[in-house]
Amino acid sequence: MMTKYVFLAFSSFVMLACSTSTRESSEAGRYQTTGSIDRLNPAINELIPEGAEIEILASGFRWSEGPLWVEDQQFLLFSDVPANTVYKWTEADSVTVFLSPSGYLGDSLNKREPGANGLALDLQGRLLLCQHGERQLARMAADWTSPSPTYEAITSQYEGKRFNSPNDVVVHSAGYYFFTDPPYGLDEWDTKELDFQGVYKTDEWGNMILLVDTLTRPNGIGLAPDERTLYIGVSDGDRARYYAYSLDKKGLVIRGKVLLDVTALAKKENMGVPDGLTVDSKGNLFATGPGGVLVISPEGVHLGTIRTGQPTANCAFSTDESVLYITANMHLMRVKLR
């Protein structure tokens, strides 16, 4: 049964300062730039033009996550999980608060990561939120301008037990959802009701199907363009891997394999572990991990790394894939692609 809640939406401007460890951008100095791009394979030049820069669009967040470009509104949404807030960014207006609270309706002062994490749009264009604090996957009404938008709890349990803290979600063209459920949103006093960290799929009636229960920390999730492969990033420093799971026509797992193991990179003082990911229309993965955003071919070849200089949480494309938006620690970043 779906439960309705109410969020408060705000339009106040948020003043955010850029880090002092950056350099001026060549684009009239509007944005500061940072980091570098490692090019390990010539194929990366077909995706990221030489001379591309990592721009810092906004800064000052506690832990930015879940970027989502909303084409018909022409804005970017992203989460600040510890702050229990979803922000909106536009080129004209920079950053404003979009939802607060975003993932926990109670007193979030004593919770480590109460807010929404991964964001997505369903087939009707409504906002989906992985809500750490409420331990559920939820859906907001599609009226983006409402001062008090409502949302519904899509699912909060598996076989009568509460989820850990749904983390990231991807939508299949048939209308069902795949999502991961690591324990990062649980505090010491929360009761962990499931003895595993799962990857789930909803069926056409909204029932939960457990696809994978053997991963230590399933986190980022994405689908191949043909929707026959499901990708999972595992944010475990001792098993820092990206997995590829073959799916049947109903979206059920047939088999799985390690696409790329980056445990050695994670242990070489590269900040970060596998976290969020997105897949381009040619099947290449842009996956956050050790050093920043790793660019990985469909065959599992590491083509290069967008080095943000920060632990990096997630990334998302603009609709035409000309821009990659990146959430990295306190920053919201952007790289213009080919």
Mean pLDDT of 296-325: 98
Q: Which residue has the higher pLDDT, 41 or 12?
A: 41
Q: Domain 63-288, CATH 2.120.10.30 — does that match?
A: yes
With a pLDDT cut of 70, the percent of the chain lying above it is 91
Instruction: Report the chain's terminal Cα–Cα distance, integer Å.
Output: 45
Whether this prediction's pTM lies above 0.75 is answered by: yes
Can you say whether the dihedral through the CA atoms of 219, 108, 111, 183 is positive or negative? negative
Please report which confidence band the pLDDT of residue 10 belongs to, taking 50, 70 and 90 as the band edges.
very low
What local confidence, expressed as pLDDT, does residue 17 receive?
Answer: 39
- Residue 234 · residue 242 · CB < 8 Å: yes
Rounded CA gap, 266 and 111, in Å? Answer: 28
Judged against a pLDDT cut of 80, whether residue 63 lies above it is answered with yes
Q: How many CB atoms lie within 10 A of CB 249?
A: 8
Tens digit of each residue's pLDDT (9 = 90 or more) over 97-129: 999 999 998 887 789 999 999 999 999 999 999
Mean pLDDT of 199-212: 91
What local confidence, expressed as pLDDT, does residue 25 receive?
Answer: 46
What local confidence, expressed as pLDDT, does residue 143 receive?
Answer: 76
Match 């999980």 to its residue by tokens.
Answer: 81
Provide the 8-state DSSP code for 126: P
Least Cα distance to 333 among 89, 42, 45 occurs for 89
Rounded CA gap, 137 and 126, in Å? Answer: 13
| Tokens representing residue 290 in the block | 């050790």
Domain edges within the chain: 63-288
Rounded CA gap, 191 and 173, in Å? Answer: 35
Q: Average model confidence (pLDDT) for the chain?
A: 91
Please report which confidence band the pLDDT of residue 205 belongs to, taking 50, 70 and 90 as the band edges.
confident
What local confidence, expressed as pLDDT, does residue 204 receive?
Answer: 75
Rounded CA gap, 103 and 122, in Å? Answer: 18
What local confidence, expressed as pLDDT, does residue 301 receive?
Answer: 98
What local confidence, expressed as pLDDT, does residue 147 receive?
Answer: 64
- Residue 99 · residue 85 · CB < 8 Å: yes
Rounded CA gap, 124 and 233, in Å? Answer: 27
Least Cα distance to 154 among 190, 179, 188 occurs for 179
- Residue 138 · residue 126 · CB < 8 Å: no
Least Cα distance to 210 among 198, 218, 220, 222 occurs for 198
Instruction: Tell which phi-psi region holds residue 117, choosing left (phi > 0), alpha (psi between -120 and 50) or beta.
Output: alpha
Q: Which residue has the higher pLDDT, 261 or 12?
A: 261
Mean pLDDT of 85-94: 96
Beta strand 36-39 with 169-171 is unpaired
How many residues can be counted in the chain?
A: 338
What local confidence, expressed as pLDDT, does residue 203 receive?
Answer: 82
Judged against a pLDDT cut of 80, whether residue 20 lies above it is answered with no
**Omega within 30 of 0 (cis) for the link into 101:** yes
- Residue 219 · residue 237 · CB < 8 Å: no
Judged against a pLDDT cut of 80, whether residue 149 lies above it is answered with no
Tens digit of each residue's pLDDT (9 = 90 or more) over 236-295: 999 999 999 999 999 999 999 999 999 999 988 899 999 999 999 999 999 999 999 999
Rounded CA gap, 26 and 136, in Å? Answer: 43
